Structure 1
């Protein structure tokens, strides 16, 4: 029972998309269907190629950032020496001993609570200090996936917009022809 209903639904959708041999379909309907199928095919091809190129670029950039941050950042225990409160976050100044034995200081912004004298784990490098660890590979994967989805969505929007313009143009022509056919029917005299 359920299979028959699914088959009827699929058949109805197939016919509504123009995949039938209906003699009542006008040439204009067939052209609109053909252009729509052409835009769909082109959209799939362009979206897949664009998504692959964008994904590759984002992934390569992310892996380079991972390697660079893993090479230059090192974890260290630091002591909070000063805290500046602002509305949204805190400016924290910390002091730590570098791997070469020299004492270093640096500052970073945080939303976490910190008091003078607290010991915090920070990541130090040539660009300063921060509380975030080096970029994880999961972030690279997430960025790659989100950019790929965004690329496909943007490409689909362009091709859907193009089809909507085509459809609007064909509808205007259809309505003009429909009005002309009614006007022509009005001119015919019916009866004695």
Structure 2
């Protein structure tokens, strides 16, 4: 089997999602969006997020899954609680993570952003392993995309206010930004 084409990070497990497509040709990738996700909500066991991004989530496995099983979503990267990372979409392709969104007057953030999902929820702190891996991934992404600077890293809640709340109030932006500086 041939390796998938595009920009795939060597230290991530690769699970190509069908929920991606080509970016517009006239659009520079210059935004990084941080998310959180847990399935079922608030639980951190199993491979349900992976199943969602690969369109194989069993709606009968949990009552909540019946409400989302038909969604077609993805993210470029997913960081588990222990720091393990799965890459679902090549960085140079458009993942379907932001939905209806706007950053500094530009709509359709999926066109020009990279999305990283952290296994978590709005009401539980993230782990040290997640911050460490997130900072490492961010440094790698910034090497590929120099237009992504500290000022161009944001939360899902910032590009979809009123619709999304992640990465949530317990995400430590100051800690994360300090760690990026150490990782670069």
TM-score by length of 1: 0.15
Q: Rg larger in 1 or in 2?
A: 1
Q: Which has the higher contact order (CA 8 A, sep 6+)?
A: 2
